[in-house]
Amino acid sequence: MSDRYDPTDRDRFTFGLWTVGNPGRDAFGGPVRPTLSPVSIVELLGEVGAWGVNFHDNDLVPIDATAAEQDRIVAAFRKALDATGLRVPMATTNLFSDPAFRDGAFTSHSPEVRAYALHKTMRAIDLGVELGASLYVFWGGREGCECDAGKDALEALKRMREALNFLTHYVKDQGYDLRFALEAKPNEPRADIYLPTTGAMLAFIETLEHSEMVGVNPEVAHEHMAGLNFTHALAQSWDAGKLFHIDLNDQNGPRYDQDLRFGSCNPKAAFHLVRFLERVGYEGPRHFDAHAYRSADVEDVRSFARGCMRTYNILRERAEQFEKHPEIQSLLMEIRAGDPVEEAQPPYTSGKAAALKSRTFDRKALGERALPYERLDQLTTELLLGNI
């Protein structure tokens, strides 16, 4: 089946090596699919029509590889990239799997663990840049605690700030063209992860020495785990000029991180986020940080990857229909009706404030304005269900 919803390079769809390469391990059982090499993952992504591939240092090069092994692996990977035409827009560091990081990396109590985390990240930045990455993600899975008696949240913030300052200086020092994107998650694998939401990350970024180099990488599942509205997090990121990257997937409410196929669980929320990205003209990669069901075999993993991309493109078309639909648009005009009150408009003057205070309002009429959101939402639902 090939049609207008199939991916093209214009869509800038990317996947991590860890996403389609996920062998189906979970907390209660081991792998159920073969471990695919980075080269075969690139080939699979080429077949399904992805634009790019992202990786953690150790998705590509095992943590204990020798320099010669690293060279061999990187050369084979580069060959696969050339053969498929895929690029590497983003890279990141695994600072969560190794037991050394079991109590955090940048926020660990141990100065040596913190130094090792910086060492590992600088080397991973070098590798990412070598392969073409212009964006570097920081997801601090182990940067949290189970026991507030043992960790100091204030100290954790200072340590996180010191680490990011160090690394922005390193990037500048090397002359790399690389920006950072911080990814929030409320919990899992820690009971509580520091800086748990995109909003928290945005506030923290402003405290960094090179804040202009640092933005966010919001993930659908992570905001939904916190019970939040993902599109609202996107709006705040965009408004701050900080939407550097995005992790698309799906999640069924506050529970363990599900990383489901994009749009598979809550298509209406997915529709609104696609509508938002398209409306504002987001031009970054559209990264799917998801994995196939544990029941899937490798063929079904291909269906999973195609599904993420097709759903995005279908929703983009629905968003265009939404913007053109006459009844939807006239309802929106009705809902948004009203002339601006001159005295309440910026810029502030004391004269306007005084005039506004003495103005009289028809409070009863304001309370009776029609707000046909039921009609609007039903039309949106029918649009998504293919009925209009």
Q: Interface with ligand GLT by CB under 6 A: which residues?
A: 18, 56, 92, 137, 139, 183, 219, 247, 257, 289
Q: Does the protein bind Mn ion through residue 103 (CB under 5 A)?
A: no
Q: Both tokens of residue 285?
A: 């990669």
Q: What are phi and psi of 347, to 5 degrees?
A: -80, 155
Evaluate whether 57 touches 127 at the Cβ level (below 8 Å): yes
Q: Residue 16 forms beta bridges with which residues?
A: 54
Marked catalytic residue, from 3, 6, 9, 59: 59
Smallest gap, in angstroms, from Cβ of residue 138 to ligand GLT? 8
Say whether 325 is catalytic. Answer: no
CA distance 171 to 212: 13
Give the C-alpha separation, 156 to 355, whole Å: 49
Q: Which is nearer to ligand GLT, 45 or 137 (CB)?
A: 137
CB closer to ligand GLT, 277 vs 314: 277
Nearest partner of 221 among 279, 286, 290, 154, judged by Cα: 290
Length of the chain: 388
Between 221 and 379, CB nearer to Mn ion: 221
Contact between 247 and Mn ion (CB under 5 A)? yes
- The binder of 18, among ligand GLT, Mn ion, none, by C-beta within 5 to 8 A per type, is ligand GLT
Question: Which residues, including other chains, have CB under 8 Å from residue 281's CB and lie 6 or more apart?
Answer: none
Measured CA to CA, the distance from residue 53 to residue 37 in angstroms comes to 13
User: What torsion, rounded to 10 degrees, do the Cα atoms 56, 53, 220, 10 define?
Assistant: 160
Q: Taking the complex as a whole, how short is the minimal distance between the CB of residue 148 and Mn ion, in angstroms? A: 24
Nearer Cβ to ligand GLT (54/311):
54
Among 259, 274, 276, 318, binds Mn ion (CB under 5 A): 259
Q: Counting beta carbons within 10 angstroms of the beta carbon of residue 204, is it exposed (0 to 12), middle (13 to 18) or buried (19 or more)?
A: buried
**59 flagged as catalytic:** yes
243 is in the binding site of which of ligand GLT, Mn ion, none (Cβ under 5 to 8 A by kind)? none
The contact mask relative to Mn ion for 178-217 (x = CB under 5 A, - = no) is ----------------------------------------
Residue with smallest beta-carbon separation from ligand GLT: 139
Q: Which is nearer to Mn ion, 151 or 185 (CB)?
A: 185
What is the set of active-site residues? Answer: 56, 59
Q: Which residues bind Mn ion (CB under 5 A)?
A: 219, 221, 247, 257, 259, 289
